């Protein structure tokens, strides 16, 4: 037993000693079967005996901390547990076992949290991936998984990760952001929201574009909340992230290959199967490959009101990426034919961005108006114009209408959605 009788307490060593004694006393199978409350009593007794037998000077607060951290080691993700319990944290980024960052309100900050060593971090990674039937080792050094709360996890280990195992956790709040939250955070304006709500109600096909962490899934969640409870929604995701609260929802998720590299189910296969399930609305969490062609064909053959997201830097780039994804199908479609498919399938493109101050904004709402020669024609309806930076680093700017009355206004009116012409006038939006 290590000697903790002099100097400041090394909680890491004490935790290892307690954990070892706990497993010797109960054995691993019984520990996990007993449940947290029963093990809490055992851990408390072991901590008490350690303090007495080894003359370890610990205050009541230090003993409680030890008990809590040992329980996190047994049932949770060890030193990451306090971060997972913080609702303000959106990302947990473990670069090495002693180099851990978090994202809070769009900004990165370093934390004092550390793992004991690489073996400790690897043990936690293995616990995460084994819970979903995956494995991570030298033969399979990259893995995606999902925590019980829906958080998305990616892990990559040596030899691919040069400095040691890396773990990235993208968190999704138990209570997703609502319309009121977006307005309060000034992500968009009430006028822009009214237009998007109308587009969903009128069953227009909407493509949400943006970079990593820009808020695409959040906006997709909000827009999907405008879909009627009378409609059958089928979502296709890789991995599942959406939080749909309608009555009639079927959620589909891709499946990675097994240990032998077989059995994978891709988004395109789910998309094809989805069309046989009588969907009223199809929501694709993110289009990223050859399933783009099947999605466009579905939008062009009666499955109106579909929603999806895509990684791109602008509304125009989003259409270019779609074109590239269709080309991945190797059908040798003429370029103009692909563009006509896109122009007739997608009605509205929404660009979202995370700005330098960490805030997220809807930077542009544009409609696709058709084809001009062999080019897809678009017109911007609303935009956010940046004007500078405040002394605090906050991005300055304003939402404005472009002064163009969109062609889709007629389709909205035909569906009973009447928007005042004044909201499209060239002026600052309310």
Give the DSSP per-residue string, 353-394. EE-TTS-EEEEEEEEEEEEETTEEEEEEEEEEEEEEE-TTSP
Q: Quick one: 125 and 237 in the same domain?
A: no
Q: Quick one: 397 and 334 in the same domain?
A: yes
Residue 257 in any domain: the answer is yes
CATH number at residue 99: 3.30.450.370
Residue 63 in any domain: the answer is yes
pLDDT of 16 reads 66
pLDDT of 295 reads 93
pLDDT of 230 reads 93
Residues of the chain with pLDDT under 50: 1-7
Predicted structure pTM score: 0.82
Tell me if residue 344 falls in helix, strand or coil: helix
pLDDT of 2 reads 43
Q: Quick one: 199 and 283 in the same domain?
A: yes
For residues 188 and 362, is the Cβ–Cβ distance under 8 A?
yes
Q: Quick one: 196 and 273 in the same domain?
A: yes
Q: Quick one: 204 and 322 in the same domain?
A: yes
Domain count, the chain: 3
For residues 351 and 391, is the Cβ–Cβ distance under 8 A?
no
Residue 356 in any domain: the answer is yes
Where does a domain end: 27, 53, 75? 75
Range of the domain at 98: 80-170
Where does a domain end: 111, 145, 170? 170
pLDDT of 91 reads 93
Residue-wise pLDDT for 289-326, tens only, equals 989 999 999 998 888 999 999 999 999 999 999 999 99
pLDDT of 55 reads 58
Where does a domain end: 145, 170, 195? 170
Q: Quick one: 42 and 110 in the same domain?
A: no
What 8-state DSSP symbol labels residue 286? -
User: What angle, rounded to 10 degrees, do the helices at 267-274 and 291-299 form?
Assistant: 20
For residues 263 and 257, is the Cβ–Cβ distance under 8 A?
yes
Residue 248 in any domain: the answer is yes
């Amino acid at each position: 037993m290590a000697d903790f009788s002099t100097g400041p307490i090394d909680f890491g060593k004490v935790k290892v000693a307690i954990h070892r004694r706990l497993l010797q006393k109960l054995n691993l199978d019984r520990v996990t079967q007993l449940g947290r409350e029963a093990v809490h009593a055992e851990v408390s007794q072991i901590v008490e005996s350690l303090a007495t037998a080894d003359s370890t000077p610990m205050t009541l607060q230090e003993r409680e901390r030890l008990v809590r951290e040992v329980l996190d080691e047994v049932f949770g993700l060890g030193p990451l547990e306090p971060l997972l319990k913080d609702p303000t944290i959106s990302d947990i980024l473990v670069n090495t076992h002693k180099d851990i960052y978090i994202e809070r309100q769009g900004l990165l900050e370093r934390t004092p949290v550390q793992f004991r060593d690489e073996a400790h971090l690897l043990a936690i990674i293995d616990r995460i991936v084994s819970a979903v039937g995956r494995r991570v080792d030298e033969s399979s050094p990259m893995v995606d998984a999902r925590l019980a709360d829906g958080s998305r996890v990616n892990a990559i280990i040596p030899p691919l990760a040069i400095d040691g195992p890396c773990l990235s956790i993208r968190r999704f709040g138990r209570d997703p952001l609502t319309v009121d939250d977006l307005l309060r955070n000034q992500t968009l304006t009430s006028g822009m929201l009214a237009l998007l709500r109308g587009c969903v109600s009128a069953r227009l096909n909407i493509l949400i574009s943006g970079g990593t962490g820009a808020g695409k899934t959040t906006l997709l969640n909000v827009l999907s909340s405008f879909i009627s409870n009378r409609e059958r929604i089928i979502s296709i995701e890789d991995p599942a992230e959406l939080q749909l609260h309608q009555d009639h929802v079927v959620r589909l998720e891709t499946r990675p290959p097994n240990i032998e590299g077989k059995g994978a189910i891709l988004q395109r296969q789910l998309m094809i199967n989805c069309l046989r399930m009588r969907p009223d609305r199809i929501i694709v969490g993110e289009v990223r490959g050859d399933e783009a062609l099947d999605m466009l064909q579905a939008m062009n053959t009666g499955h109106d009101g579909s929603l999806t997201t895509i990684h791109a830097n602008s509304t125009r780039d989003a259409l270019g990426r779609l074109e590239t994804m269709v080309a991945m199908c190797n059908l040798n479609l003429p370029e103009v034919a692909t563009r006509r498919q896109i122009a007739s399938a997608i009605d509205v493109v929404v660009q979202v961005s995370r700005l330098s101050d960490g805030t997220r904004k809807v930077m542009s709402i544009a409609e696709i108006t058709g084809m001009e020669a062999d080019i897809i024609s678009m017109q911007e309806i609303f935009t956010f114009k940046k004007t500078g930076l405040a002394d605090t680093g906050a991005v300055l700017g304003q939402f404005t209408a472009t002064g163009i009355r969109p062609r889709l206004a007629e389709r909205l009116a035909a569906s009973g959605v009447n928007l005042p012409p004044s909201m499209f006038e060239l002026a600052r939006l309310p």
